[in-house]
Amino acid sequence: MCHNFTMKRRRFLINAAKGLAIFASSKIVMSQATNQTSQKSTMSSEFITLFLCGDVMTGRGIDQIMPHSSDPQLFEPYVRNAKEYVALAERANGRIAKPVDFAYIWGDALAEFQRFAPDVRIVNLETSITTNDKHWSGKDIHYRMHPKNIACLAAAEIDCCVLANNHVLDWGYQGLAETLSTLREANIKTAGAGRDSEEAGAPAIMEVSNHFRVIVFSFAMESSGVPDQWAADRDKAGVNKLPNLSEKTTKLIADQIHRVKQSGDIVVASIHWGGNWGYHIPNDHIQFAHRLIDTANVDVIHGHSSHHAIGIEVYKNKPIIYGCGDFINDYEGISGYERYRDDLALMYFVRIAPKTGELGGLEMVPTQLKRFRSNRASEEDAQWLQTTLNRECGRFKGRIELTEDQTLALHW
């Protein structure tokens, strides 16, 4: 359902996407201790650079500030109008000049994209893109973005949206069908959801300019809130939901990867798993991640569902990001979990050597969401992230260094 293309040359434009801004910023660096000087050098042809982040939720309040808003009616227990989330954000951090242009939500992140020039940009899109008004009954929260706002993803030149998550079917099967068709028309590849189990389980395959490929598989677990009914079947649309994290499941994934992976390919396993809050990483997540690397030939594990960044492990020189944390959402001004600092986010730039599949560097940029815009985090917030990640990566024998330009470097 996707078309291969050369990532460096693709510049998809939508007529509505005007007024894109250029922003200035700095970067956070994570590099390998054994050869840190070379790790911090400019990107070379020896590596493929991936951009990864956690949940990108462009519905509800975010949708309301863009040029083509959906009907703001909600079916939540306490909030009935999406405009209330805009009001909450404005009360917390100031007025948002509406409507914003399509690049607005990415803010300072756009400069980081220019700086790192990633070959492939992958996000977990936790939003249905649809005009369908029939929500999924029995579910408290429903995210949707108007299809005409698809230009917000084009503004950041997103290449792949993983869809195996607990919100892609918020507006039913019609909403899923429109989500898939809208992304396809925008030349954005998808993985993790489809019209049947075959399509939902199929990977997104992207060619990069040096003729290597990035192959993205997308999976969801019940622990992240995915209803059982959402699992795709032979003759039913839905998401690519894993029944469990057993060795049998690992073997099924390994067989699928074996059928498509060629020499020089980089395989990403993108997994929506676990709860929203807390730093605990279940042992079965760790064991499953290790098995995917040991037996399924996975090179990068891209975990998400947690609303804040959690631990990172480098296992056999392969990166495991257990939970990226949210990147864009409309939670600004909502109280109750301040101790987790979910206003802070990370842009993950992962360098992989295609000849070996090993990690060449994991560089991150810290951001803070204010007025529904991604802003470069302050020095104080960078220090908070350093302390937090030092604690969480320590169990995997990782150490975080804060550099003079407020970058973070992971030593393992």
Strands 358-370 and 344-353 turn out to be antiparallel
Tokens of 104: 């607005």
What's the rounded Cα separation, in Å, for the pair 102 and 121? 17
Taking residue 301's Cβ as centre, other Cβ atoms within 10 Å add up to: 24
Residues β-bridged to residue 321? 302, 312
**Phi/psi at 11 (nearest 5 deg)?**
-135, 85
How many CA atoms are closer than 13 Å to the CA of 158, on its beta-carbon side? 26
> Residue 173 CB: number of other CB atoms within 10 A?
16
Q: Residues of 360-393 as b/e, b for ≥16 C-beta within 10 angstroms?
A: bbbbbbbbbbbbbbbbbbeeebbeebbebbbebb
pLDDT at 373: 98
What is residue 179's three-state secondary structure? helix
User: Helix or strand or coil: residue 24?
Assistant: coil
Reported as a single tens digit per residue, the pLDDT across 245-283 is 999 999 999 999 999 999 999 999 999 999 999 999 999
Do residues 207 and 5 touch, judged by C-beta distance below 8 A? yes
How many Å apart are CA 349 and CA 235, to the nearest integer?
38
Q: What is the pTM of this model?
A: 0.89
**Cβ distance 237 to 195 under 8 Å?**
yes
pLDDT at 45: 59
Q: Which residues pair with 382 in a beta bridge?
A: none
Q: Beta strand pairing status for 160-162 and 120-125? A: parallel
Residue 401 CB: number of other CB atoms within 10 A? 16
Nearest of 404, 281, 362, 348 to residue 109 by alpha carbon: 348
Return the pLDDT at 16. 39
Tokens describing residue 97: 């000049």
- The distance from CA 205 to its chain's CA centroid, rounded to whole angstroms, is 17
Residue 18 confidence (pLDDT): 37
CB 350 within 8 A of CB 317: no
Cβ atoms of residues 217 and 189 within 8 Å? no
End-to-end C-alpha distance for the chain, whole angstroms: 39
- Residues of the chain falling short of pLDDT 50: 1-44
> What are 334's two structure tokens?
């909502």
Beta bridge partners, 375, equal: 368
Fold of the domain spanning 33-411: Purple Acid Phosphatase; chain A, domain 2 (3.60.21)
